[in-house]
Amino acid sequence: MLKQIKIFTLILLAMLVSACSMMQSSNMTTLFDGETLQNWNPIGNADWTFNDGYVEGSDAPGFLVSNQSYEDYRLIVEFWTDEPANSGIFIRCQDSQNVTDTNCYEVNIFDTRPDQTYRTGGIVNIAAPTATINAADQWNRFEIVALGSQLLITLNGTETVNVNDEQFSSGSIALQYNSGVVRFREVSIQEL
């Protein structure tokens, strides 16, 4: 009888984990569908072009800035860069027309950053990444959780930052093109 209860408990636990996982993915809202920029406002001088389900920046620095401001959320961003690329995911931006690493949190994408302190996976001026992950020449996946003062960054399944910082509590999201080859594919958000 005890063995049957253990089996039943394990089955119930597996079903619960599966249901939570399905709920978590079904609560995601797509911000970028690979075909239009309907949820984004381009600022700066970058030329944004579509190709095979992704958008690519080129020519000059610029951003795609979300039309909406967000407070607490889980953000998924898939990106592809070449080795010299300089890019980033800016979150909780205070000024949607002037995006900088001092009025937002910049989750960096820059493998060859001269000062490696805030390289790919770190938050510029806030937290160095705890793991060195080179993102060049492959599709990568950031999972960014901003919940109150807690900022959690996961790159390709590896946690790179887990820090508390109270500078910014809400704001827009911005995808950066600065240099090199920079592509963004899936961008989705789950408000928490």
pLDDT tens digits, residue range 36-46? Answer: 999 999 999 99
Q: Model's pTM, two decimal places? A: 0.86
User: CA–CA distance from 27 to each of 21, 73, 78, 84 (Å)?
Assistant: 10, 11, 18, 35
Q: What is the CATH number of the domain that holds 167?
A: 2.60.120.560
The position carrying tokens 């939570």 is 20
| Count of Cβ atoms closer than 10 Å to residue 45 Cβ | 10
Query: Would you say residue 23 lies in a domain?
Result: no
Total domains present in the chain? 1
Let me know if residue 7 belongs to a domain. no
Say what the alpha-carbon torsion angle 166, 168, 173, 176 is, to the nearest 10 degrees.
-90
**Does the residue 3 lie in any domain?**
no
Domain extent for 69 = 30-191
What digits encode the pLDDT tens for the residues 53-97?
Answer: 999 999 999 999 999 999 999 999 999 999 999 999 999 999 999
3 to 9, 14, 156: CA distances (angstroms): 10, 17, 38
Contact between 187 and 67 (Cβ < 8 Å): no
Assigned domain for 25 exists: no
Q: In Å, how far are 60, 113, 129, 191 from 76, measured between CA atoms?
A: 25, 23, 18, 12
